[in-house]
Amino acid sequence: MKRVLVWAIFGCAVGCGRPDAAPPPPVQKGDVELLTPGTEPRQPVRYHLVKGATTASEFGVDMDMSDGQRDIKMPTFVLSVLIHVDDVLPNGSAKLRFTYTESKAVDRPGASVPASVVAEQAGLLGGIAMTGTLSATGKFSDIAMVPSPKLTAALGDQLKELTESVQQVAMPLPEQPVGAGASWRTNKPVVQNGMKLTMTSTVTMTSLDGDTLAFTSKTGIEGGDQSITQGETTMQISGIGGGGDGKGTIDLAKLAFAGQLAAEFKATMRAMGETAPMNVKMVMRVAPQGAHSAP
């Protein structure tokens, strides 16, 4: 029975929830709270994208999990994303189209799960596209999936995850003018792997060189006790908590990220009459497409 609970944790990490669950409305980004304006000179910081521009990025994710008795080291998940600016409105907002050109699992040294085991699940997102509107201060609205034969029930909660993740492609920016050393905070609800969480992020702008904003970030995660369902198994989750640190750059004219985020998530899971701790560590790297490779 313990082995069943271990694989329930594994399943939760790679995508929980009922496959026929209806996608929820998009979760809107919370307001940005300016904590420190930074040094002079200060200036408004805004996205200013150009109609017709295209940016190709690659996300690489390494994930390690533990239930207190067994450690599971996953292969590297790689997601290639093409961001196209369909239009720019008079108020500076940009209509964007996101196309997931490839999603795959890649073997990494020391992994306890070979890429072939999760290859089918990892590849489901390839070819999926969605549209949305990004404001000049980094708020998304009108997010919608582009109709496609790829949108099948097999995707399950991954469609929800896409709606959530696309809103994290752009960093929210403060309304007020800021300078080097400025910091701001956002607090927003997210749904991650079927779990309802609250994510609080604090960003510090270390420099602004032309269109390139360099930053560091700290994120805290919390959530109430809740139940999620994976296949035929219902799991009770309690003691949710975690956080992470990141650093990188973003090109405000191209919506191009480069950087790394390291995060840890902890909770207690109860399923089929047994209880186990759940500890998930994740490292995500973002780079121009083709630059990522497994460590």
Domain regions of the chain by residue span = 2-19+29-280
* Residue entry with tokens 């992470």: 244
Amino acid at 42: R
CB 35 within 8 A of CB 174: no
Q: List the one residue out of 123, 145, 10 whose CA is nearest residue 66.
A: 10
**pLDDT score recorded for residue 272:** 83
**pLDDT score recorded for residue 241:** 94
Strand ranges for the chain from DSSP E: 33-36, 54-66, 71-73, 76-88, 94-106, 129-134, 140-145, 183-192, 195-209, 212-223, 226-230, 233-251, 256-271, 274-288
Q: What is the DSSP string of 135-151?
A: -TTS-EEEEEEPP-TT-
Peptide bond into 75 cis (omega under 30): no
**pLDDT score recorded for residue 16:** 38
**pLDDT score recorded for residue 163:** 63
CB 59 within 8 A of CB 285: yes
Residues in Cβ contact with 211 at an 8 Å cutoff, skipping those fewer than 6 apart: 48, 251, 252, 253, 254
Amino acid at 122: A
**pLDDT score recorded for residue 13:** 41
CB 135 within 8 A of CB 46: no
φ/ψ of 111, rounded to 5, equals -65, 135
**Cα(17)–Cα(202) distance, rounded to whole angstroms?**
29
pTM: 0.81
**pLDDT score recorded for residue 295:** 40
Residue 50, CA distances (Å) to 58, 90, 181, 241, 258 in order: 21, 12, 28, 39, 20
* 10-residue stretch averages of pLDDT, the chain, 295 residues long: 37 38 38 95 96 93 90 93 95 94 92 91 82 94 79 59 66 96 92 82 97 96 89 87 95 94 93 89 85 40
Amino acid at 33: E
- Give 147: exposed, middle or buried? Use CB within 10 Å, 0-12, 13-18, 19+: exposed
**Cα(292)–Cα(295) distance, rounded to whole angstroms?**
9
